[in-house]
Amino acid sequence: MAKYVFQSPGKYIQGQGVLASLGEETEKLAKKPLIISDEMVWSITSETITDSFKNVDIDFTYEEFNGEASEAEIDRLSEIGKKNDSDVIIGVGGGKTLDTAKATADNLTTPVIIVPTTASTDAPTSSLSVIYSDEGEFTGYRFYDKNPNLIIIDSAVVVNAPVKLFTAGMSDAMATLVEARAALKSNGENMVGGQPTLASIAIAEKCEETIFKHGQAAYKAASKGIVTPQVDAVIEANTLLSGLGFENGGLAAAHAIHNGFTSLSGDIHHLSHGEKVTYGTLVQLVLENSSDETLNRYIDFYKSIGMPTTLKEMHLEDVAFEDLVKVGKLATDPGDTFANLSDKITPEEIANAILAVSEISEGNK
Residue 48: which CATH number? 3.40.50.1970
Number of domains comprising the chain: 2
User: Which of 122, 214, 232, 255 does the annotation list as catalytic?
Assistant: 255
| Annotated catalytic residue within 99, 122, 258, 336 | 258
Is 59 noted as a catalytic residue in this protein? no
State the residue range of the domain holding 331: 252-365
Q: pLDDT tens digits for 248-289?
A: 999 999 999 999 999 999 999 999 999 999 999 999 999 999
Instruction: Give a yes or no: residue 186 inside a domain.
Output: no
Out of 141, 158, 175, a domain closes at 158
Assess whether 315 carries a catalytic annotation: no
Q: Dihedral of the CA atoms 275, 280, 282, 288 (nearest 10)? A: -160
Same domain? 256 vs 125 = no
We report the CATH number of the domain holding residue 263 as: 1.20.1090.10
Residue 143's pLDDT band (cuts 50, 70, 90): very high
Whole-model pTM: value is 0.92
Q: Is residue 45 part of a domain?
A: yes
Residue 334 forms part of a structural domain: yes
Residue 322 lies in a domain: yes
Establish if 182 belongs to a structural domain. Answer: no
Exactly one of 106, 122, 232, 273 is catalytic; name it.
273
- pLDDT grade, residue 2 (50/70/90)? low
Evaluate whether residue 97 is within a structural domain.
yes
Q: Is 273 marked active-site?
A: yes
Co-location of 131 and 20 in the same domain: yes
Q: At what angle do helices 242-249 and 163-185 cross, to 10 degrees?
A: 30
Does the residue 148 lie in any domain? yes
Looking at residue 123, its pLDDT comes to 87
pLDDT of 1 > 60? The answer is no
| Burial letters 213-231, b for 16+ CB under 10 A, else e | ebbeebbebbbeeebbebb
What sign does the CA torsion over 280, 281, 283, 288 have? positive
What pLDDT score was predicted for residue 138? 85
| Among 131, 158, 185, residue at a domain's last position | 158
User: Are 143 and 270 contained in the same domain?
Assistant: no
Judgement on whether residues 257 and 147 belong to the same structural domain of the protein: no
Q: Helices 198-223 and 292-304 meet at what angle, rounded to 10? A: 40
To the query of whether residue 85 is one of the catalytic residues in this protein, the response is no
Catalytic member of 122, 172, 232, 336:
172
Q: In Å, how far from its chain's centre is CA 48?
A: 25
In a domain, 170, yes or no: no
**Side chain identity at 336, as an amino acid letter?**
D
